[in-house]
A and B are shown apart, each in its own frame.
Chain A
Amino acid sequence: MRRLLPLILLATPLTVPLAVYAPAVSAVENVTLTFWTFLDPKKNTPREKAWAEIIQAFEKKNPGITVRPEVFPWKEISPKLIVASSAGRGPDVTLVETDLSEKLARGKILEPLDRYIAAGDPRIRDDLYHPETRIVDGQTFSLNMWTNGTALFYRKDLFEKAGLKPPRTVDEFVAAAKTLTVDSRGDGRIDQWGFAEGTARSQPFGQRTLFPLIWAQGGVIVTPDGKAAFNNPAGVKAVQWFVDLVKVQKVMPPDIVNLTYDEHLQGFMAGRYAMIFEGMHRYQNTQTSPVVKGKVGLSYIPSWDGKKPSPTPVTGWDIGIGAYSKQKDAAWKFIMHALSYESQMTNAKIAGQVPARRSVAKDLYFQSADATEIKFVLDYLALGSQEFPRTKNVDRLMDLFNQAINEVLLNDVPVKVALDRAAAKYNEGI
């Protein structure tokens, strides 16, 4: 025994960490993982086909583990996670809306991933775009699965006809919008507007146009301690410019106060708007409209001075482990597989998704003609991007910001006053 004692003492420092991290590396067998997603692998759209392939490859590599996707409408995943977790239940793995990841993390709905990352591949976090936004109170609760940049979608045919080039500055943007605002039937009613962005309360999205213009001036939306700061001079300047598009320049319809996120895209696809700012994940959908098929150009979001485009707002989906999962090791295995080089390439090639990992983006495929749209986003990300702010109540923040715009548009309230009120209301609430 005395002979063994030094060996035991030597082995202890090695075995303790192994024991601590054992769950992350232990073999898992005969496990069914529930995976909450909004993409149904049984369906036939490219994104859904890509997921089917990713899951199939995972099950092949891990014969003891079966993935059972449970599919929900995309806007319902977060509410359902909240309800299920309140009752001590939930999925093993779930897709997480990036904007809501902090809210879900603070609600103890997601499992911290740090020990799995440390035991697996610690470099993975820094390989993602904006890794800092995944950290809540010093812990990481989700990892980015895919990235969606935002761009200016414009009608190439209309631009060519009018001899216009994609705008680089906001002034060029206004000039183009003026040219493309047309009363084609001469009845005093505009049939085609130069630009539109919706601020309807049910699906407000004014932030998509305005946050990049605030960021481009060095302004912030929230302070580091989570308070609303969009009422700063950069915010006032951007909102004033936006409101003037309706009131002064008359290139945006006044009914944007009732225009939703979905209707704004439908309007562009119907030829009602010549330009919109839109998430790149919706580009393929525009090609289903015979009105604009093959006529949609992509450009960067203009900036104030034209030296560099405004940063593209990055949205997307994260992937995480449900806090109440009883099979967290297997869940982590699946996450690592979903984020693997192979799966990210599958997602890019089949679904046209922009990879979430910088190392994957270096693949030569993204220089090829098949990946033109993805390359556009990757180039834009390299020039500058920002994620929408993570705050305790991001929905409320966006709602109040858009309400302030509507107040200016509908009630002629000065921009500064409306933004101050909205920021104060948000800060009171938190």
Chain B
Amino acid sequence: MTITFSVRWVKYSLTFLVLAGVAILMLTPVVWILVTSLKPEAEIYRFPPQWIPLQFTLDNYKAVLQSSMPMYFVNSIVVAVGTIVLTLFIAMHAGYAVSRFQFRGKNVFLFLLMASHMMPGVASLVPTYLLAGKLGLLDTYAVLILVYSMWQTPLVVWLIQGFLESVPATLDQAAMIDGYSRLGAFYRVVLPLSKPGLAASAIVVFVYAWNEFIMALTLTSADNMRLAQVGLKYYISQYGIQWGELAAAVILSIVPVLILFVLLQRWFVYGLTSGALKG
């Protein structure tokens, strides 16, 4: 009994130590950025650098909030939410179709879908820019939402399809026997059961849209259309880097992702794992 307990205790301790080590490794740069964002200029340049500054200041946050960054954050939120809505709308229907229907070339279709997602974004930069220009969509939310959705839909179709396959098809059939149409069964029975999968997909899409840089830079030029990730780059100028403000802006840019993750964390973990146990 004692030996079993000791072995288990050692196992848990080891697991805890490894996980804590990895977590510290991942969190150290974030903590360092947080500390830098709270340092006055004099502290930032102190060598050797100090983990705990002698003086704390919120001046860097004030400067960021008084700049155009809040507008860039709003733009990023609009684009990210728009991308989630469009991507999920397309992907949930496509995912339902491939999870419920057998049709010729289904596997090839799914393979091609994923293959298209693997093409590096930069390869389509010029055609996308040309097309957006011809359609008069440059410098609009619409172009970014469309492009980001185009990139994320294949991945999300796969994610949702995996999840929907874990929802028994008999439920759809039962709903249809009760008088629902195919779409009615999907919307009223299958979709409510798929919330964890949708939440997981929403986080994946949000993080992508929030962090994307090259398309946002290329497809927008006007200041009032700039996204947060592009805005961050302005703190790195040819004359030097404004470390304090950059660190404050980075911390502020992490907040929305963090909030979304905290809110949807339970569903995110469930959504990602449930698809793996289908059948």
Contacts and interface: CB of A to CB of B under 8 A. Distances in A.
A83 B129 contact: yes
A87 B133 contact: yes
Contacts of A265: 240
Interface stretch (A67-75, A207-215, A244-252, A376-384): A67-75
Contacts of B237: 38, 73-74
Interface string B209-235: 000000001100111000000100110
Interface residues of A, number: 35
Interface string B30-45: 0000000000011001
A56 interface: no
Nearest to A36: B221
Given A73-B233, A262-B236, A290-B41, A191 B48 contact: yes
B241 interface: yes
What does DSSP make chain A's interface, helix, strand, loop or mixed? mixed
B102 interface: no
A291 B217 contact: no
Closest 8 A/B residue pairs (Cβ): A87-B130, A285-B240, A290-B42, A270-B47, A73-B233, A70-B221, A86-B126, A289-B45
B68 to A, nearest CB: 8
B103 interface: no
Given A70-B221, A290-B41, A291-B47, 4 more contacts: A87-B130, A272-B47, A282-B239, A288-B240
Interface string A259-286: 0001001100111100000000110110
Contact of A284 (B222, B233, B239): B239
17 contacts: A40-B223, A70-B221, A71-B234, A72-B221, A73-B234, A73-B237, A80-B217, A88-B133, A191-B48, A265-B240, A266-B241, A269-B45, A270-B45, A271-B45, A282-B239, A284-B239, A289-B41
A80 B218 contact: yes
A87 B41 contact: no
B240 to A, nearest CB: 4
A265 B125 CA distance: 33
Given A272-B47, A291-B46, A281 B41 contact: no
B46 A270 contact: yes
A225 interface: no
Q: Chain B contact residues (Cβ within 8 angstroms of A): what range?
A: 20 to 34
Interface in B128-158: 129-130, 133
A28 interface: no
Nearest to B222: A70
A117 interface: no
B139 to A, nearest CB: 9
B138 to A, nearest CB: 8
B223 to A, nearest CB: 6
A222 interface: no
Interface string A62-94: 000000001111101000100110111100000
Contacts of A36: 221
B237 to A, nearest CB: 6
Given A38-B238, A290-B45, A76 B233 contact: yes
A36 B223 CA distance: 12
B180 to A, nearest CB: 48
Contacts of A40: 223, 234
A265 B129 CA distance: 36
A285 B243 CA distance: 12
Contacts of A83: 125-126, 129, 218
A71 B47 contact: no
Contacts of A80: 217-218
Contacts of A72: 217, 221
A87 B241 contact: no
Interface string A341-357: 00000000000000000
Contacts of B234: 40, 71, 73
A93 to B, nearest CB: 14
Contacts of A272: 47
A271 B42 contact: no
Interface in B21-72: 41-42, 45-48
Interface string A321-340: 00000000000000000000
A282 B234 CA distance: 16
A72 B129 CA distance: 16
B218 A89 contact: no
A74 B238 contact: yes
B39 to A, nearest CB: 12
A73 B48 CA distance: 30
